[in-house]
Structure 1
Amino acid sequence: MVNLPLQPRYILPPLCLMALSALLAALNLNDVLEFNRQLIEQGQVWRLLTSQYVHANWPHLGLNCAGIILIWALHAEHTKPTQYALHTVFLAAWCGIGIYYFCPDIRIYTGLSALLHGVIVWGAIKDIDAGMKTGILLFIGIWLKIAYEQLNGPSAEVGKLIASRVAIDAHLIGAIGGIVLALPLVMTYLKKRQA
């Protein structure tokens, strides 16, 4: 039997993230919040952070909400609400800044997918630290997915669904952010192994 983490402390943070993104979509705030390189260069630096929470369309939001639910099912018990919020804000800023500096061809960007790649990498490392062998499989799996995207390019089908090109380099940046976020876990794990 599957034992899902249904306690409020586990279910409220991902619900709040989905609700925030849905509210921003309903209010149609992309023009004010999306990553727009030209406007960021003119001083609208908040877009580096806020762009992660808005989406190209409702199917785009739906795909990212499915990702949030998957990560919740896998890793909700690893974080407290405050930690969840700090992780998502750190990764949103990390991804926005990373896209700005390392993806000059990305002029417009929206969506949680880069951030979610970071969250799932952090969760896989947390699984490994907790002694769960599935963490190793998840860690390898997410990097295989990213390698596949880098070698084969973005999915045309997903791009058509979300009416936007899938930003595979943003996924890579997000996953690297997950490793950065997990550095304290990695250091603890390595110390335990040496002891």
Structure 2
Amino acid sequence: MLRSILPQNIHLAPYMLLATLLILLALLPEPIQQWLLYDRAALAKGQYWRGLSGHLLHSNHWHLLMNLAGLLLVMLLHGHYFRSRQLLLQWPLFAGIISVLLYFCSPGMQIYVGLSAMLHAMLTLGALKDIQVKQSTGALLFAGLIAKVAWEQWQGPDAQLSQLINASVAIDAHLYGVISGVLLAVLLWLAKCLDKA
């Protein structure tokens, strides 16, 4: 039924796989989740998987629901641009870049969970692809993302949202998500230029 209301060219499987994984991880007992979240001290001891798995955990069900809605939005806006294999390569790459930036540029961030930074990366990459194919909404979305992260950096985290998700909103992670989306867009553009040369 979902397939009948979505545009034909969206690669649905990876989005469904990611959404299912988010839900299953949310059902894990707390001690197991503690072993998977982004934890700066544990990363320093070599538990590098946390740099990927932390992006798949959430602080509570509201946090999970908001990120699932964000994933649906990304799929509807830009799901037609990338094949399944591309998505399954992009997502861990985004998580890795964001985690490296968190570790080295935000030493005060001790614990992190949530898909929102990766959603910022996906939206950024999609908006830049929109611009590349001359979709008028791409520039608007990209400008909106830049304005959002700039506002967050200036004003700080939203207190009401922090209360809803029972965690501090990781505004630096959102910024790093946009940066990683731009980095991947540049790399893809360079690879395309090299192919033409």
Give TM-score, length-normalised by structure 2.
0.89
Answer yes or no: is 1:51 the counterpart of 2:48: no
Who is 1:15 aligned against? 16
Unmatched segments (≥5 aa) in structure 2: none
> In structure 1, what residue type is equivalent to 2:59?
A
Tell me which of 70, 73, 80 is aligned to 1:67: 70
| 1:184–1:36 Cα change, 3 Å | closer
C-alpha separation in 1, matches of 2:13 and 2:107: 36
Shift of 1:10: 1.9
Distance 2:134 2:148 in 1: 23
RMSD after superposition:
2.1
Separation in 2, partners of 1:158, 1:58: 13
Is residue 170 of structure 2 the alignment partner of residue 151 of structure 1?
no
Instruction: State the match for 1:138 in structure 2.
Output: 141
Counterparts of residues 87-126 of structure 1 (less than 5 Å): 87-126=90-129
Distance 1:184 1:48, change over 3 A: closer
So what's the TM-score if we normalise by structure 1? 0.90
Equivalent pair of 1:114/1:171 in contact (CA under 8 Å): yes
**AA aligned opposite 1:157:** Q
Amino acid paired to 2:46: G
Q: Note the residue ranges of structure 1 that are not aligned, 5 or more in a row.
A: none
Would you say the 8 A contact 1:34–1:47 is kept in 2?
A: yes
Question: Using the alignment, how far apart are the partners of 1:165 and 1:13 within structure 2?
Answer: 29
CA shift at 1:4, angstroms?
Answer: 5.7
Q: Quote the sequence identity (%).
A: 38
Write the deviation string for residues 50-94 of structure 1: whole angstroms up to 9, x where unpaired.
Answer: 111111111111111111011111001001011111111100111
Q: Does 1:25 align with 2:26?
A: yes
Contact 1:125 1:185 in 2 (8 A): no
C-alpha displacement of 1:27: 1.3
CA contact (8 A) 2:10 2:75 kept: no
**More displaced 10-residue stretch of structure 1: 92-101 or 117-126:** 92-101
Are the equivalent residues in 2 in contact too, given 1:94–1:177 (CA < 8 A)?
yes
Give the aligned length: 189
